[in-house]
Every structure is written in structure tokens, then in C-alpha cells.
Amino acid sequence: MLKEKQESESSNLYGLTRREWLKATGKLGAAAAIGSFGKPLFSKVFAAEPIKIGHITPRTGFLGQIGAYAVMGVQLAVEEANARGGVLGRPIEVVYEDSVNPGTAVQKARKLIEKDKVVALVGEISSASTLAIGEVAQEAGIPFINTGANSDEIRGTKCHRYVFSTEGSNTMYVNAIGQWLIKNQKFSKWYFLTADYAFGHDLYRVSKKLLLEHGGTELGNDMIPTNTPDYSPYILKLKSVNPDLLFLNLAGVDQTTFLKQYKEFGAPFETAGGVMDTVQFWAAGPDAITGVWPSLWYHGIDVPAAKEFTARFMKKFEKPPDNQAWSDYVAMQIILQAIEKTGGTQSKDLVKFLESGVEFEIYKGRPGKFREWDHQLMQPLYVVKVKPKAQMKDPWDIFEVLEEIPGKNESLETIMMKKEEGCKLEPL
């Protein structure tokens, strides 16, 4: 069943499902098909060969819920691009693949490049899988925009010339939440719960460093396997340790599982964390969620372009975009803009364009651009706090945005990794 589903999605024509395509063309004709925004879906009938982009991200497993939103972000970006007439007069076709683990991710990346002949790769959430895909992309000379993996290594010692990141690094997330914690005097005795894989290990390293640099005390850290079903032993241990702050370095469905069980134990300690995915908090429900968190993007930020993007997304999917949908949408827009501006799909031209300092609309009230030397998208993050349930206007209205970090008049460099942290890009 999964294979049939993937094959159906991989044959997605112009960013639509087969059912959507047949419905549109069968009733209206291809040239008259209507998109989800009341505009013609295709401005003309495409005669040219499509430009193929590979989208690879977890669709199953403990990151699958996040991956589903990543796919929605890409679908909307491609639908909108084709509604405008495609790029360079050619339709955009996305080949979707599920990356369950690093080994599968490598196989799928090679398949997309060698068999499907994609001109770029977009996606991923797992840091371990992203590191593996980056090796494949570099070897093949195909641009890859990482949309969901946080490990500093991706921008540091294991960076690559053909790899770019719209997702923030662990350093960016920790520095953002760290600034808020410093101002609110939350540096004292911390206990860490950490995902036991590349992402978690790196996030723990960065967050522990922040704590110790500001005179705090680490009371302990537990490395927790992904897909852990029972957190009661860890929560009972916390009660005996009695930290001032519980700092979470968990990811995916583990965030949801922990928050639900933590609430059952009375959520006894203040909670913050090094990363947060909105969809996992939605899944936990308003009665279970708690804490203060760094966020890459949130649909409640008071920015006109963000509100417009949210409205378009809700019209298509009947729910708002989460931070992952935002990242994949923006990444797809960026790679399509690069193709349009360079006039083709030559990989070296695309890389040079992305490195050139050109600014992109990223729906945050100020533009973003990639740093030339590590290919990290320069952008602000947000500190968000869970709202009291009585103040939530709908099931998705779960956060109060406390502040944007860095502030409007501050350099984006203040939260980013430093150049001496090891990135040495290969020559083109």
C-alpha cells in the first residue's frame, strides 16, 4: 500500500494529485482548470518538458507528522508557480519520496538524481538523513536545500558547497531562546531530556554550553531513544532531582508523547527547549502543552505577508501552516526563483546565484539571504509561550509570540554560528 501511494505521489503532475488532475482536466479541460484561489490553475497549456524537483522527507515514523506539513508546503508553492505559467515557460513537476532513515534517504536521493533526473533536491527533517543526503548531493553536483534539519554539523564541519539550509541551526535556536531566558533570569539548575541521535546530541552540546557559560548548573541529562512510548521513569526521576528548569531536546512525535505524559504528572517544573515543531504541540492538545520555546516561524506573527501566506494555505488545506510547511514552501520558492533568474537549471549557476547575497521574501517582515560561507539562511527566530487554554481562539491558536530575535534593529549574526566553527566549502 505504501509503495502504491508513493508511486502515485511520485507521478504527481504539475504538483497535483492524480485525483485533482483528473477532476480538473476531465470537467474543465486543462487550459481552463481552476486553481484553489479562484485563478486559472494553468495560464496556458504547457508544451515544454517539465522541470523536475525532488522532494524528500519523512512521511512515516516519528517525524512523519511533520513531513506531512512539509509536503503541503511544497504542493502549494508548486501549484502557485504553475498557475503563474511555470518557470521559463516550463511546468514544475515534483517527485516525492519518503525518507524513513539515513540508509533509505541515500537510496531515495540517488534514485531522484539518477533515475528521475531532478535538477534540485528540497526537504528532509532528520539531521542524520540530511547529512547523508548532503554527501550524495555534493557528489552528484545537485543543489539540495535542507528545510528541517538543525544539526550544526550541516553548516559546520560537514557542510557542502551544494547544500543550503532554510531551517535554522541548533546554535540559532539555542541563542534565540537563550536571550529570553537570560533576560528573565532562568539560568540556574537545569535538567535535560535529549533525543538519542545526531540532532539531539548536537542540540544538547549547544544548550549545555549556553547554560554553563551563564553560570548555570547542569543537574543531569538523559539520552532518550526515538519513539519512546513511556516517559514516566524520566518524569519520576525529575521529581527526585528537582530542577529549576526542564530543558527539552526532543523531536518529532516524542515531543507530543512527552508533553501528554508530563501533564498527567502535573507538569511540575518550568519547561523550555532547544527546538519546537508546532504540529507536535497541536497533536498534544491545549490541555497538555506548556513552556516557552524558540520557533522558526508561526502563523500568528503580526506580519502582512505571513498573514497572506497563511490565508492561502488555509484556503487549500483548511488548516494553517506550521513551521515545517513554511520552510518547505520558502525553499521551493527560492529554488524556482534561482532557476528563473539564472535562465536555466545548471547546478553551478544555481549555487552561484544562491551564494550571491540575493534577498528572498520569507514572510517574516524582512528578507532573508544565504550566508556565502556556510549557506545558512539568515533570518530572525521567535520566542513563543503556550497560551492559557481560555485565550486560544481556535485549535491552532496555541502560542503567544513574546518577541522576535534578533530584534528589528539588531544584526542577524548575533544568533548564528561563527565562522571558526569549521565550515570549509568545496570549490565548484
In CATH terms, are 2-168+303-378 and 171-295+380-415 the same topology? yes
pLDDT band, very low/low/confident/very high, at 31 (cuts 50, 70, 90):
very low
38 or 364: which carries more pLDDT confidence?
364
Say what the pLDDT of residue 48 is. 87
C-alpha span between 216 and 44 (Å, rounded): 62
Q: Where are the alpha helices (DSSP H) in 214-357?
A: 232-241, 253-264, 278-284, 304-317, 323-342, 347-355
> Reduced to 3 DSSP states, what percent helix, strand and coil does the chain have, rounded to the nearest 5?
45, 20, 40
Predicted confidence (pLDDT) per residue in 231-275, tens digit = 999 999 999 999 999 999 999 999 999 999 999 999 999 999 999
Q: Hey, where are the domains in the chain? A: 2-168+303-378, 171-295+380-415
C-alpha span between 355 and 374 (Å, rounded): 9
Predicted confidence (pLDDT) per residue in 138-169, tens digit = 999 999 999 999 999 999 999 999 999 999 99
Does the domain at 2-168+303-378 match CATH 3.40.50.300? Answer given as no
Predicted confidence (pLDDT) per residue in 298-356, tens digit = 999 999 999 999 999 999 999 999 999 999 999 999 999 999 999 999 999 999 999 99
Say what the pLDDT of residue 45 is. 61
pLDDT at 34 over 90: no
pLDDT at 214 over 70: yes
DSSP collapsed to 3 states, 18-58: HHHHHHHHHHHCHHHCECCCCCECCCCCCCCCCEEEEEEEC
Say what the pLDDT of residue 386 is. 98
For the entire predicted model, the pTM comes to 0.88
Say what the pLDDT of residue 227 is. 94
pLDDT band, very low/low/confident/very high, at 5 (cuts 50, 70, 90):
very low
CATH number of 171-295+380-415: 3.40.50.2300
pLDDT band, very low/low/confident/very high, at 180 (cuts 50, 70, 90):
very high
pLDDT at 419 over 60: yes
b/e burial code for range 41-76 (CB count within 10 A of at least 16 → b): bbeeebeeebbbbbbbbbbebbbbbbbbbbbbbbbb
* Residues 6 or more apart in contact with residue 419 via CB below 8 angstroms: 373, 374
